[in-house]
A and B are shown apart, each in its own frame.
Chain A
Amino acid sequence: MPLPSVFFLAGFVTLFGFLLLFVASKIGEVVRDRVKSETYECGLPVEEKVDTKISIKFYLTAILFIIFDIEIIFLYPWAVSLKEFLAQGLGWYSLIGVGIFLLIFIFGLWWEIKSKALDWE
């Protein structure tokens, strides 16, 4: 991987953004005001704290995402070397192996849909 180029680009982009924000902060006229610097709330005074209660669905989505993401990542090496497997006569063998893996995956997805874990009310 061309690491020097990647780091150079990341550094340049960071510098670019930082400089733009810096210049913008120097040019604009600043009028400080107590009401202006309050949290935006459609004109009403802020009543609730930021840490409102949030549906557990969001955590569940994130956890299920991690699991499925890992399963999908396991498919990448297989997909990229399927030609080699075919050349070795292992095409069907690897496909059936991955198929069983995918069946477990599909079963998991089906169970989650059925158990309403993915329903949002």
Chain B
Amino acid sequence: MVEALLFWFLALVTLFGAVAMLLVPNPIYAAMSLVVSMIGISGLFAFLGADFIAGVQVIVYAGAVLVLFVMVLMLFDLKSETQAFSKGLLSRIFKVASVGFLLGGLIGVMVLEFSWILPVFMQSSPQWTMTGVKKMAQLLFTEYMFIFQILGVLLLVVAVGAVALARSRGGTHERA
């Protein structure tokens, strides 16, 4: 009973955040709605017994990425969008196509009913939480060690790119 209630609560929070992010005209409220959605997703991870991933979800997305978004939006002080979407032909085609794609995907999932994948998500015994992290580490630092190193390089490239962009001269903010 409690489990089902918890799941529906978390699912509703996640969806509410996501829908609010799309519909709210004020960009800062939109970013904050995304935070709510991220916390909901983290709750869902915790609900499934993946506590570490739940924590990481909050630390990285809510605690780092969205902090950047909110900070940037606050500094730009964007005005609320009164008109949520533009009206050109291209954007209409894009809208119809993306809605169709998402709906098609949803219906596809419902029709095909990936029943084989459900039991994988249903395991949520309490001792899974620590063994899960250790299993992940076991794979990450043996079998996928090379990929892990590539990830380090990728992050380095991102850092260099960010610094290079911030240093580039010209534009509206001429710097000495």
Do A and B interact?
yes
In the complex the two chains form, is B167's CB within 8 Å of A117's CB? yes
Q: Is A115 an interface residue (CB 8 A)?
A: yes
**CB contact under 8 A between A67 and B43, given known A73-B56, A78-B141, A80-B134:** no
Contact indicator A74/B163 (Cβ below 8 Å) = no
B81 at the interface (CB under 8 A from A): no
**Are B163 and A117 closer than 8 Å at their CB atoms?**
yes
Q: How far apart sit A57 and B156, CA to CA, in the bound complex (Å)? A: 18
Question: Which residues of chain B are within 8 angstroms of A7 by Cβ–Cβ distance?
Answer: 9
User: B125-171: which have CB < 8 Å to A?
Assistant: 129-130, 133-134, 136-138, 140-142, 145, 148-149, 151-153, 155-156, 158-160, 162-163, 166-167
Stretch with Cβ within 8 A of A (4 or more), from B18-26, B28-36, B72-80, B103-111: B72-80
Say if the beta carbon of B64 comes within 8 Å of chain A.
yes
- Among A3, A69, A80, point to the contact of B64 (Cβ < 8 A): A69
Q: Is A42 an interface position by the 8 A CB rule?
A: no
Over the window 54-73 of chain A, the binary record of Cβ atoms lying under 8 Å from chain B Cβ atoms (1 yes, 0 no) is: 10111110111111011101
What DSSP secondary structure best describes chain A's contact surface? helix
B97 within 8 A of A: no
**Nearest-CB distance from A121 to chain B (Å)?**
10
Beta-carbon contact of A97 and B149 below 8 Å: yes
> Smallest CB–CB gap between B97 and chain A, Å?
31
Closest Cβ of chain A: how far from B7's Cβ, in Å?
10
A78 partner residues in chain B, CB cutoff 8 A? 137, 140-141
- Are B160 and A74 within 8 A (Cβ)? no
Q: Contact residue range for chain A?
A: 35 or more
Could you count the A-B residue pairs with CB atoms below 8 Å apart for me: how many are there?
Answer: 130
Which of these, A4, A49, A54, A101, contacts B148 with CB under 8 Å?
A101
CA distance A1 to B56 in the complex (A): 14
Closest chain-A Cβ to B167's Cβ sits at a distance in Å of: 7
**Within the assembled complex, what's the spacing in Å between the Cα atoms of A86 and B34?**
41
23 A-B contacts (beta carbon < 8 Å): A1-B51, A3-B6, A51-B77, A59-B68, A60-B166, A62-B71, A63-B162, A64-B163, A65-B68, A70-B60, A70-B155, A76-B52, A78-B140, A78-B141, A80-B134, A97-B149, A100-B149, A101-B148, A101-B149, A104-B152, A105-B155, A108-B155, A111-B160
Give me the interface of A with B, judged by CB distance under 8 Å.
1, 3-4, 7, 49-51, 53-54, 56-60, 62-67, 69-71, 73-74, 76-78, 80-81, 84-85, 90, 93-94, 97-98, 100-101, 104-105, 107-108, 111-112, 115, 117
- Can you list the 4 inter-chain pairs with the closest CB atoms, starting with the nearest? A51-B77, A77-B137, A1-B46, A62-B68
